[in-house]
Amino acid sequence: MRILLVEDEPEMVSALRAALKRHDMVVDHAGTLLDAEGFVAVDGYDAILLDRQLPDGDGLSLVPRLRAANNTTPVLVLTAKGETSDKVDGLDMGADDYLAKPFAFEELLARLRALLRRPAPMQSQFIRAGHLVLDVGHREAAIRGEPLSLPRRELLVLEALMRRTGRMVQREALMEAVFGLDDEIQSNALDTHVSRLRRKLADAESGVTINGIRGVGYLLRETP
């Protein structure tokens, strides 16, 4: 699960990032509205955690701009403004949920889960290549109907490659898809995930192979 955290308080950012990562979420952080707009323009997120009081304006102003661009990413507003009128304003502007500070992390997590259980209104949830089917919504892979057990980062690698089957995916694009911008990453981390995934796909006779060009990127293609 990839989360965009839009928050400018360092202590809150540190606490939320650590807690979310403990629950296997990839977290990108934006400290301003401008940064947040840049992130959503180039990356897809499962949910956005949005503070209202940001250095360059009311975070809530981001929501109608997202909806106008047909971006339906769930938005959970986190704010010290907890009056009923504030909550109504936020929901009316297109936010999906509203949580007043201070809050218990358990409640935040429960609200996130509830948002992510809502059916996505847009694209197909399935990607197919060879004998392999990836359920994007549930992050599950299967080969000829049999589940293929993969850890989270290998699933993210697989999704990024399957979305561009037959085309080279640049190494930088894969890194962005698999790791959070603030993750501490070893230089060979991506190659290790790809190597393990390639072996599992071969062992399961998936009908696809992963080829790489050193220092450039990787390509998933269907086998004859």
Q: Domains in the chain, ordered, with CATH?
A: 1-115 (3.40.50.2300), 124-220 (1.10.10.10)
Per-residue pLDDT at 122: 46
Could you report the average pLDDT of every consecutive run of 10 residues in the chain (224 residues)?
91 92 88 91 85 92 86 88 77 87 90 78 70 86 93 91 88 81 69 94 95 90 89
> What is the per-residue pLDDT for 184?
60
Q: Would you state the pLDDT for residue 177?
A: 79
* pLDDT score of 135: 87
* pLDDT score of 213: 85
Beta strands 217-222 and 146-148 are: unpaired
Strand order in 168-170's β-sheet? 168-170, 217-222, 208-213
171-178 and 152-162 helices, crossing angle to 10°: 140
**Burial letters for 64-100: b for 16+ Cβ neighbours within 10 Å, e otherwise?**
eebeeeebebbbbbbbebeeeebbebbeebbbbbbbe
Which residues is 2 bridged to in the sheet?
26
Of how many residues is the chain composed?
Answer: 224
The model carries a pTM of 0.57
Q: What tokens were used for 181? A: 């911008």
3-class secondary-structure state, position 183: coil
